[in-house]
Amino acid sequence: MLVATLAFVAAALPARAQTLLRDPDIEHALRELARPLITAAGLSPGNIKVLVINDRKLNAFVVDTRHILLHSGLIQKAKTAEELQAVIAHEVAHIANGHITRRMTNLRSASNAAKFGLAMALAVGALSQNAEAAAGVALGSANSARRVFLGHTRAEEASADQSALRYLSARNIDPNAMADVLDYFRGQELLSVGRQDPYVRSHPLSRDRIRAVRGYAAAYASNARPDPTANYWFARARAKLDAFVGNPARSLRKAGKDGSEIATLTRAIALHRIPKRKEAIAEIDRLVAMRPNDPFYHELRGQILLESGNFAAAVNAYGRAVNLAPRDALILAGYGRALLALKTADGNRRALSALEQARSRDGTDPRLLRDLAVAYAKSGNNGMASLATAERYALLGKLETAGVHAKRAVDQLPRGSAGWNRAQDVLNAAKRAG
């Protein structure tokens, strides 16, 4: 549900709020691309998420040891799965080599850190009960703080390059892909800061760095083996991203009448956005027929039906997706949203259950929290409705408003309960930010 589940983050990102694109299909595809590299680094794939920021500039970075963020422009710029995996491998290396952990440690004593935007800090800190992670990313909009946190030294870059190239080679992924990515930015250090892609500012380039990468790649490229699975997930993620954020008419022209799975996916989304509802539903039905046990295609079918006003059919489509992927928070959130649209007592009861499950797995989606607040309010639980609203505003970076709702939640919830403690977390963060 790419367009319908926009989440806003501030923290260690550019001064303006950023749009975090949440889509279960794309995030699954990125997990599949990242998995072999994370394991090659000796880390657990279940502990690291790869998320997408809606920004055409080319950039990728880590804000803590559990989140890698890719700009949509970088995904769209990449020509192959290997290129995107090279970027991911480099960011994984920053985590595995302890670059982020050391930076967090250095920031613990910074008394002014809490004065900056706390949106991502709450996402990975207070809401996950990890105060140290929160302190590490609570940097907000100050340019100097952002450069200190996101910017890597040339030594760190060289270290991450060497590790990333080892990860790629260990998984028989062509290391030349990293050199190809660096070539995108060749010469950008000569541009003014305002014209550079953010990647150059946060990942300093040098002739020596590029030469070293090319030398290593030449030595190990013979071990590379094409991976049809990686190519498939890359094509699928990029097609879905292009179709949702690009011009739908252009997407339709690109897909043409090709009967392939990726072209059908592109047409379904583009037709939905125009909107041509009947044609979009016909295309998504063809897609589901191609992969009847794919939860993400059932989820997309549910989104199209829901946004077309066919609520009962949307509930059925989302229900099928939940049966196929019962632990996916974004699919559960979509299911809850569809159930709320029924506007019945039973629908609200089932929606509340689905949304609570989604929130327990991923509490960083403001749209989910908005729906959860509605479901709580309809069930008469105003304290939890206020809590969900407070957490939503906190994630949006609106800490003053978050504090107002958190105070209401504290006043209404049983003292010492889990909800009361979460409300206190938001309230305390709002006070520090004030």
Q: Assess contact for 41 and 163: CB atoms under 8 A.
A: yes
Token duo for residue 218:
């030449």
pTM score of the predicted model: 0.86
User: What value does the mean pLDDT take over residues 225-241?
Assistant: 96
Residue 125 has pLDDT above 60, yes or no: no
Confidence of residue 244 (pLDDT cuts 50, 70, 90): very high
Token duo for residue 186:
């060749």
Place of tokens 């500039």: 57
CATH topology of domain 3-228: Zincin-like (3.30.2010)
Residue 215 has pLDDT above 50, yes or no: yes
Q: Which DSSP state fits 328?
A: -
Residue 241 has pLDDT above 90, yes or no: yes
Given this model, what pLDDT does residue 2 score? 54
- Rounded CA-CA distance 429/434 in Å is 9
- Rounded CA-CA distance 83/179 in Å is 9
Place of tokens 């105070």: 407
Higher pLDDT, 408 or 121: 408
Length of the chain, in residues: 434
> What residue type is 23 in one-letter code?
D
Coil, strand or helix at 7: strand
Q: Which DSSP state fits 138?
A: T
Residue 3 has pLDDT above 50, yes or no: no
Q: What are phi and psi of 154, to 5 degrees?
A: -65, -35
Question: In angstroms, how far is CA 250 from the centroid of its own chain?
Answer: 25
For the chain, the average pLDDT equals 83
Confidence of residue 361 (pLDDT cuts 50, 70, 90): very high
- Write out pLDDT tens, residues 277-330: 999 999 999 999 999 999 999 999 999 999 999 999 999 999 999 999 999 999
Given this model, what pLDDT does residue 412 score? 98
Give the residue extent of every domain in the chain. Answer: 3-228
Q: Assess contact for 201 and 151: CB atoms under 8 A.
A: yes
